[in-house]
Structure 1
Amino acid sequence: MRLRTRLTLWYGGAFFAAGAVLIAVVYLIVRDRVAANLPAPGDSVEYLVQARAQLGMSEEQLLSLIDTVVQRQQDANDATLQGVLLGSVVALAVVGLLAVVFGALIAGRVLRPIDDITATARRVADRSLHERINLHGPNDELKRLADTFDGMLARLDRAFEGQRRFVANASHELKTPLAINRTLIEVAAAEPDADHRVRGLAANLLAVNERHERLIDGLLTLAESDRAPADPAPVDLADIVAHVAAQFAAEAAEAEVAVTISAAEAVVTGDAALLERLVANLIANGIRHNRPGGTLAIGTTAIEGRARLTVANTGPVVAAYEIDALFQPFRRGEGRDRVESVRGVGLGLSIVESVARVHDADVEAVPNPGGGLWMTVDFP
């Protein structure tokens, strides 16, 4: 039950309870006053003595007359009390219903700032930390709550922005010495007097240097993919899949992985470069974590207005409880760090999840019964 409904019910219940107590008190007061107006037995005897002399009535006739008058008065009093009680209950019901309606309006008015806080928190969680509530009004509890939330968002925004700047700057700074190292190694290996040991060492160093370059590129992409697209535009996933799959054709052939593509039109709104990196990482993951003679099926489709990308590959058996770990940076299945693998640097699926998150997409990975993964990305 929503808080507004609970507040309305509490307000209405309190009003009805207070009204019932008020009706009971008024009813008791009226009943006591009416009963006090009836003649007492002593007054009846005294009146009987005076009336007999004036009216010339017998005692039996006078007693009968008094009983009739008292009974009619009692009936009138009972009718009055019943009318007062019935009218009070009807008035309580009508005014109570109006109070419930006004209570709902008041509860909505009071809770409106909380709705604004909730909506801002949802937008911030889905997109970026740049939005603020900026609640205007008296300096009450809700205003202080909104200001505290804005302050927390500002600190988080500075922290995340500083982290992104650090990763980006560190990646750019590390690229230069790695490029210099690659050049020096290539020059040393190309010397005429370099023997086979020097050339073998140079090849190993170049492989390590290339892997470090991929790691830095992955870190830089991960830092840049965690922010919302600055200028989103319609992009057809089918075109991206066809383009990226062609780039990985040679690698798939070398790995003896058969690639099949079923690309129907699936238009999404987002950043084309980030979406291309998402597709590339999924295809690369499907090829490099496959087996010789395996398959990789890539498909795009639109279901009820939502674009869907599917990438299914064969490969080693993955347990269901290891799926979440695959999306963590530098992690791989079977509890080992993916940084140990020569097939990648362990950032591919982390980048996929980050790109999907900034595009409000849902990523789901399901183990295939025979081994490998079935990856699905659903876009809004």
Structure 2
Amino acid sequence: MRRMTIRARLTLVYGGLVLLAGLLLLGITYLLVYQRLAGNVVFMEGEAQSPTLAPGQGASSTYVKKIQGDVTSSALKAFLTQGGLALAVILVAALAFSWLVAGRLLQPLHRVTETALRIANAPDRGLHERIALDGPHDEVKELADTFDLMLARLDHSFDGQRKFIANASHELRTPLTLNRTLLEVAIDPATASPELRQLSQTLLAVNARHERLIDGLLLLARSERTVTDRSFVDLADVVSHVATVLPHDGVDVAVDAGEAPTAGNAVLLERLVHNLMENGVRHNLPAGGWVRVASGTRPGGTVFVSVANSGPVVPRYEIPNLFEPFRRLGVERAAAPGAGLGLSIVRAVTGAHGGTVHAEPRNGGGLVVTATLPTAPPEDDCAVLMATHDQQIADRCDHTIRLADGKIID
């Protein structure tokens, strides 16, 4: 059952107070009027019983007393009726006024709630936003300032974490590159023994795995920032390109690349599609596996890339864990191929472009992973200009992404 809102409760409280005050005022006024009219009746009775009255005037005094009682009763009844109607009108006006005042007083709280919802829907990428509430230094402003302080500390913490990952990854790439060079020199067939070449090949494989891990960490740290420099990208071109260069490893890959114009960073979007397709090929059946890739537009101003594959059965409760870094399904980390960052990077890149990613288990095994992104605004639709071969391309599409010689260039 939905609880009553604070605005409604405040309105009822204010209305109840007005009703109580009106009833008290009406009751007190009623007593005062009654006492006044009763006093007049006693005064007239005293005059009627005066010894100075002539014989025969007693009957007239009784008649006057009756008339006075009827007038008093009629006056009190009219007072209660008209006073009740006036109180009802005042109560309705008070409720309406209380509703408006309560809404005005609660407006800063709505602003705090809207900001919190935006940040909650944008994980840590929305932590740079602040409420910055203006107005008197009251309890509501103190709450908003405290919330801003918390956001600032969280933003600083997440930013420091990303910088640490990026700096550490950069520092580790140099010794790994040096190790690879030394190992390649050591396996010279002219000087190295078979045992040394075998050992060097094993170390090269381990070194390559570490390099992929560091590259993935760097890309993850980069993709967790909101993309500000955007260019026109048709995901259909990206899907077609990745499908031609990605090793299939005996898996049947079918592509349905429908037009999907969006705006973003071309390198990150290519990595998003690459990771989705590579994940579908890698985690598949030993023989007879397949991958289906599709892109297109949807109502509501969004585009999508969807990758479905055959493969092992994936429990629904395990799906959220697959998007966490270094998490895999049913295999040990050391024995699993890859660095375990594929879907984590997909989620980070999608979020940085203002989109969402969703995975569903297939009946019979495998997954259907769909990334949804906002469509490109009309002013960024450079595909039309490219088709006209007009000079406007140089003016409006300085960063347009095009496909040339099988490579994406910016």
SS at match of 2:268: helix
Q: 1:144 to 1:347 in 2, by over 3 A?
A: same
Deviation per CA, 1:305-349, whole angstroms, max 9, x where unpaired? 322221111111111111111111111123x55x32442111111
2:64 corresponds to: 69
**Per the alignment, do residues 228 and 66 of structure 1 end up closer, same or farther by CA in structure 2, a change over 3 Å counting?**
same
1:158, CA displacement in angstroms?
1.0
Aligned twin of 2:293? 298
Secondary structure (helix, strand or coil) at the match of 2:201 reads helix
Cα offset, 1:174, TM superposition = 0.5
1:117 Cα deviation after fit: 1.9
Q: Distance in 1 between matches of 2:269 and 2:73?
A: 83
Distance change >3 Å, CA 270–CA 10, structure 1 → 2: farther
- Structure 1 Cα separation of the partners of residues 269 and 197 of structure 2: 39
1:159-174 alignment, distance < 5 Å: 159-174=157-172
- Alignment CA distance shift 1:13-1:182 (3 Å): same
Matches within 5 A, 1:125-164: 125=120, 126=122, 127-164=125-162
CA contact (8 A) 1:244 1:280 kept: yes
Q: TM-score with structure 1 length normalisation?
A: 0.89
The aligned runs of 1:79-90 (5 Å cut-off) are: 79-90=74-85
Larger deviation, residues 280-289 vs 7-16: 7-16
Structure having the higher helix fraction is: 1
d(CA) in 2 for partners of 1:373, 1:319: 10
| Separation in 1, partners of 2:281, 2:63 | 108
Instruction: Return the alpha-carbon distance in structure 1 between the equivalents of residues 294 and 108 of structure 2.
Output: 45
Letter matched to residue 19 of structure 1: G
Between the aligned partners of 1:236 and 1:19, the Cα distance in structure 2 is 69
* Cα gap change, 1:73 to 1:321, in 2 (>3 Å): same
What is the identity percentage for the equivalent residue pairs of Structure 1 and Structure 2? 48
CA distance in 2, matches of 1:299, 1:357: 20
* Uncovered stretches (5+) of structure 2, i.e. residues with no partner: 375-410
Q: SS of 1:130's equivalent?
A: coil
* 1:368 aligns to 2:362 (yes or no): yes
Indicate whether 1:3 and 2:3 are aligned: no
Q: Give the SS at the match of 1:343.
A: coil
Encode CA deviations 1:119-142: one digit per residue, 9 max, x unaligned: 332333324222222222222111
Distance 1:28 1:262, change over 3 A: farther
- Which has the higher mean CA deviation after the structures are superposed, 174-183 or 90-99? 90-99
Q: Secondary structure at the match of 1:38?
A: helix
Out of 35, 38, 50, the position equivalent to 1:35 is: 38
Deviations 1:55-92 (A, max 9, x none): x417xxx33x3333222222222222222222222222
> What corresponds to 2:29 in structure 1?
26
2:312 to 309, 316, 319: 316
Q: State TM-score, norm by structure 2.
A: 0.83
Task: Kindly name which structure, 1 or 2, has the bigger radius of gyration based on alpha carbons.
Answer: 1
Q: 2:233 maps to which residue? A: 235
What runs of 5+ residues in structure 1 fail to find an aligned partner?
Answer: none
Contact 1:128 1:227 in 2 (8 A): no
- C-alpha separation between the residues in 1 aligned to 2:362 and 2:111? 43
Q: Describe the SS at the equivalent of 2:263.
A: strand
Look up the match of 1:201.
Answer: 199
Deviates more, 1:311-320 or 1:115-124: 115-124
1:274 aligns with 2:262: no
SS of aligned partner of 1:344: coil
Deviations 1:89-108 (A, max 9, x none): 22222222222232222222
